[in-house]
Amino acid sequence: MVIPSFVRINGKIRVPKVRCVDENGEMVGVISTIEAIRLAKSKKLDLVEISPGAKPPVCRIMDYGKFQYNAKQKQKGAKKKQQNHAVKEIKFHANVEEHDFQTKIGHITKFLQKGHKVKVSLQFRGRENAHKELGFEIVNRVKDAVADISSVDSEPRMMGRMILMVLAPISSK
């Protein structure tokens, strides 16, 4: 439930008659505002305007502080459940050794299992630029190594002195 930006409670309700609903959700009826406030005070609760546009406005007897607290808790819970997945980047070079390759594959696997996208980049240095086919072989090895848990979002392509590829986790939904 979203907390309205401005809610009239108790003495701030300035209409002569209101349609009143008690704390259990049962209709009390159309009564004067003063009588409704008196009824709410006798139960040690607040009279809160729920629907100001209705004729007459609908008011409910409730503990407004508790209502606000519960609404804020629901908003916090919804915020916690939101998933913000970043794009993680793993960098390779054309002459990567097997152990380094396997370590980076392990990192890519962890990122994909957590639901992140992974940007795989391979950068050429100096004379490595003459052997672009070696770079594409490494990137394709990466693609094959994580093929069971990922899908290719962006195929390997050259961008200047780099080969870039984006992997996305296979959704389990």
pLDDT at 56: 86
pLDDT at 172: 53
pLDDT at 5: 59
pLDDT at 149: 92
pLDDT at 109: 95
| Same domain flag for 76 and 93 | no
pLDDT digits (tens, 9 = 90+) for 67-83: 889 888 988 888 877 76
Residue 37 lies in a domain: yes
61, 81, 101: which is the final residue of a domain? 81
27, 58, 81: which is the final residue of a domain? 81
pLDDT at 3: 53
Instruction: Compute the mean pLDDT over every residue in the chain, rounded to the nearest whole number.
Output: 87
By 3-state DSSP, what share of the chain in percent is helix, strand and coil, each rounded to 5? 40, 30, 30
| Same domain flag for 70 and 143 | no
Q: Considering its fold, how many domains does the chain have in total? A: 2
| Same domain flag for 133 and 164 | yes
Residue 5 lies in a domain: no
Amino acid at 92: F
How many percent of the chain have pLDDT more than 70?
94
pLDDT at 33: 85
Is the pLDDT at 126 greater than 70? The verdict is: yes
Q: Residue 137 has what DSSP assignment?
A: H
Which one is predicted more confidently, 129 or 81? 129
| Same domain flag for 91 and 157 | yes
Rounded CA gap, 45 and 65, in Å?
A: 10
Which one is predicted more confidently, 83 or 39? 39
pLDDT at 170: 86
Cβ–Cβ under 8 Å, residues 56 and 19? yes
Q: pLDDT confidence of 173, banded at 50, 70, 90?
A: very low
What is the domain range of residue 14? Answer: 10-81
